[in-house]
């Protein structure tokens, strides 16, 4: 005998029943018999989002939150992982060793090695001084060269006005030197020294005869007025063969010293004009060829002559003859 289907039984016509009662009976029978067939009506899905999903969607609409989640959050996550890895001392040591080894391998490559030093613009003595103060052992990596420190050392030499350092192709350390040109010899408290036109020390001088081509200046403060001394020497060109040097007096004026112990005392102000006046008198009257010991130009509007002892004796003799007086 075929078993009775509850649905068919419920749909069967009943005495005095209605369709609504039949459906209710069918549902009751399914529930008691555990029927899960496709004939059971499905519960409709609620389209509204959950509370958490709603809040997240609202937060995602914020531009700053989206920027944080897309840019900042990944960086923070990576940084956190790196920080956790570096928190281990062994990891840090291994990383430092690896970096040092890679750096050493790169620095010691042949294209970065410096093998020679070339110095241009310096005399032989200055070149030796530069090689001595740099004291480099070639070959060495260009990364091991302290170029700013070397430049400071080289420019500290008295004879160096300017210097330039660079590593050129072929592994050559190129040093370009602008050497100071000595203009005068200064007899100062530490002996003889050569100075340039700015009064900067160039080098020491053992003997005056080593540089007879340079004029001599002396006195305290003479090194600070080398330019003025050179201008006076230029004005004294007509008597240059007789000139011995210039002496700074009181750190304010010059004396021009000639042979035969003659001295031209120049004023503090406008010494060039006073020197030109002396040169004019010498050319017109042969002033410096006479028995004159000193020409005092400290008052240019009233020059004063100081005669030698012999000239003074001769003058007294002539005066005595005129007056008829005998001096013994």
CA 258/CA 222 separation, integer angstroms: 18
Q: Please check the confidence at residue 15 and state whether its pLDDT lies above 50.
A: no
pLDDT for 104 equals 80
pLDDT for 162 equals 92
Mean pLDDT over 153-174 rounds to 91
Which of 222, 273, 268 is CA-nearest to residue 245?
222
Give the chain's mean pLDDT: 84
Confidence of residue 310 (pLDDT cuts 50, 70, 90): confident
Q: Please check the confidence at residue 66 and state whether its pLDDT lies above 80.
A: yes
Q: Are 321 and 313 in contact (CB under 8 A)?
A: no
Q: Please check the confidence at residue 112 and state whether its pLDDT lies above 90.
A: no
Mean pLDDT over 293-308 rounds to 89
Output the six-digit token pair for 151: 């430049």
The structure tokens 């020197």 sit at 275
- Domain boundaries 110-179, CATH class: alpha beta
Collapsed DSSP state (helix, strand, coil) of residue 213: coil
pLDDT for 29 equals 64
pLDDT for 24 equals 64
CA 187/CA 199 separation, integer angstroms: 13
Q: Please check the confidence at residue 181 and state whether its pLDDT lies above 80.
A: yes
Q: Please check the confidence at residue 277 and state whether its pLDDT lies above 60.
A: yes
Q: Please check the confidence at residue 153 and state whether its pLDDT lies above 80.
A: yes
H or E segment and range at residue 283: helix 271-285
Mean pLDDT over 142-154 rounds to 90
pLDDT for 44 equals 67
Mean pLDDT over 263-285 rounds to 93
Q: What is the pLDDT of residues 186-235, one digit of tens each?
A: 998 889 999 999 999 999 999 999 999 999 999 999 999 999 999 999 99
Question: Residue length, the chain?
Answer: 328
pLDDT for 327 equals 43
What is the widest separation between alpha-carbon atoms in the chain? 194
Mean pLDDT over 83-108 rounds to 88
Domain boundaries, the chain: 76-104, 110-179, 184-322
CA 259/CA 263 separation, integer angstroms: 9
Mean pLDDT over 69-84 rounds to 92
CA 121/CA 181 separation, integer angstroms: 12
Side-chain half-sphere CA neighbours of 106 within 13 A: 7
Collapsed DSSP state (helix, strand, coil) of residue 161: strand
pLDDT for 279 equals 94
CA 186/CA 152 separation, integer angstroms: 26
Q: Please check the confidence at residue 328 and state whether its pLDDT lies above 80.
A: no
Q: Please check the confidence at residue 9 and state whether its pLDDT lies above 80.
A: no
Alpha carbon 312 to chain centroid, angstroms? 65
Q: Are 295 and 263 in contact (CB under 8 A)?
A: yes
pLDDT for 322 equals 64
Q: Model's pTM, two decimal places?
A: 0.62
CATH 1.10.3720.10 fits 184-322, yes or no: no
Q: Please check the confidence at residue 61 and state whether its pLDDT lies above 80.
A: yes
Kindly state the percentage of the chain with pLDDT values over 70.
Answer: 83
Confidence of residue 60 (pLDDT cuts 50, 70, 90): confident
Residue of 293 and 39 predicted with greater confidence: 293
Q: What is the pLDDT of residues 25-34, one digit of tens each?
A: 666 666 665 5
């Amino acid at each position: 005998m075929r078993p009775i289907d509850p649905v068919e039984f419920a749909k069967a016509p009943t005495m005095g029943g209605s369709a609504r009662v039949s459906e209710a009976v069918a549902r009751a029978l399914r529930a008691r018999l555990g029927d899960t067939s496709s004939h059971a009506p499905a519960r409709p899905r609620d389209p509204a989002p959950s509370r958490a999903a709603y809040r997240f969607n609202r937060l995602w609409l914020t531009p700053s939150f989206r920027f944080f989640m897309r840019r900042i959050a990944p960086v923070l996550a990576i940084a956190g992982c790196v920080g956790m890895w570096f928190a281990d001392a062994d990891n840090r040591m291994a990383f430092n060793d690896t970096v040092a080894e890679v750096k050493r391998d790169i620095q010691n490559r042949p294209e970065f090695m410096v093998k020679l030093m070339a110095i241009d613009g310096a005399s032989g003595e200055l070149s030796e001084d530069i090689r001595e103060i740099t004291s480099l052992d070639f070959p060495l990596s260009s990364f091991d060269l302290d170029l700013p420190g070397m430049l400071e050392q080289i420019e500290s030499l008295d004879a160096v006005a300017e210097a330039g350092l660079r590593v050129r192709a072929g592994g050559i350390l190129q040093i370009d030197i602008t050497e100071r040109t000595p203009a005068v010899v200064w007899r100062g408290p530490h002996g003889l020294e050569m100075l340039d036109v700015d009064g900067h020390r160039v080098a020491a001088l053992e003997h005056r005869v080593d540089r007879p081509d340079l004029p001599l200046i002396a006195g305290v403060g003479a090194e600070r007025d080398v330019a003025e001394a050179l201008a006076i020497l230029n004005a004294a060109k007509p008597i240059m063969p007789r000139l011995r040097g210039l002496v700074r007096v009181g750190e304010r004026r010059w004396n021009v010293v000639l042979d035969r112990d003659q001295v031209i005392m120049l004023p503090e102000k406008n010494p060039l004009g006073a020197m030109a006046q002396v040169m004019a008198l010498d050319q017109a009257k042969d002033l410096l060829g006479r028995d004159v010991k000193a020409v005092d130009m400290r008052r240019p509007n009233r020059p004063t002559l100081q005669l030698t002892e012999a000239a003074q004796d001769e003058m007294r003799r002539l005066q005595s003859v005129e007056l008829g007086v005998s001096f013994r």
